[in-house]
Structure 1
Amino acid sequence: MNSINEKEKKLNSALDKLKNLDLSNPDLQNNIKNLSSQKTQLEIEKIQLEDKYKLLLDEHESLSKKLEDIQNKEKLEQKKQAEFSEKIDELNQETDTLLEEIDKWQM
C-alpha cells in the first residue's frame, strides 16, 4: 500500500512541476497525458487492493470466530469427558462397595 501511495505522491509532484512548464512543447503534453493515465491506473489498482484488504479482514474475522467456537466446543467436550470419567469412577467405587457387601453376606 505504501508503494502505491509513494507512487501517487511522486506522480502528483511530477504533475505539479509539469503544470508550471511551458505546455507548448508537444513532448511535454504527451508526458503529461502519460503521467495522468498512469495516475489513473494506480488509483484503480489502489481501490482494488483496498477492496481485497477489506475482504481479507472480513475473512480473518470470520475464521477467528470459527476458531474460537471450535476451541469452546473442545473445552466443553473435555469438561464432559472429565465428568464422565468421574461418574465412571464413582460407579466403580459403588460396584466395589456392593461386591464387598455381597462377600460379607455370603460368609
Structure 2
Amino acid sequence: MKEKRGRVHMRVVKRNGKFEDFQIQKLERSIKNSASDINIVFNNSDIKLLCNEIMKELSVACKDNDLTSSYEIVGVTLSVLKNNNFGKVINSYLGI
C-alpha cells in the first residue's frame, strides 16, 4: 500500500466490479454501527485499534498491488473481531 499525504492508499474492487479508493471511515462506521445495533458501545479508541489491526492484515495481503476486494475486507474484519473477542458483533456486521 502506498502512503498518500500520510494516509494509506489502497484500491477496493467492489462487488459490482467497480474500483474505488479505500476509505477507513467507512470501515470505522460499519464496525461502530454493527456494535451499536446489538447495544455494544465502542469508543473511538476501540474502533481505531480494531481498524489499525485490520489495515495491518490488509497491507500484508495486498502488499504487491495495493488492491483488495470488499470480500477480503469483510473476511479480515471478521477475523479481527473474532480474535479480539468481539464475536457477538460478527452476526450484526454480517446483517444476520
Q: Which TM-score band (shorter chain)?
A: under 0.3
Report the structure, 1 or 2, having the larger strand content. Answer: 2
TM-score by length of 1: 0.23
| TM-score normalised by length of structure 2 | 0.25
**Bigger Rg, which one:** 1
Q: Would you tell me which structure has more helix in proportion to its own residues?
A: 1
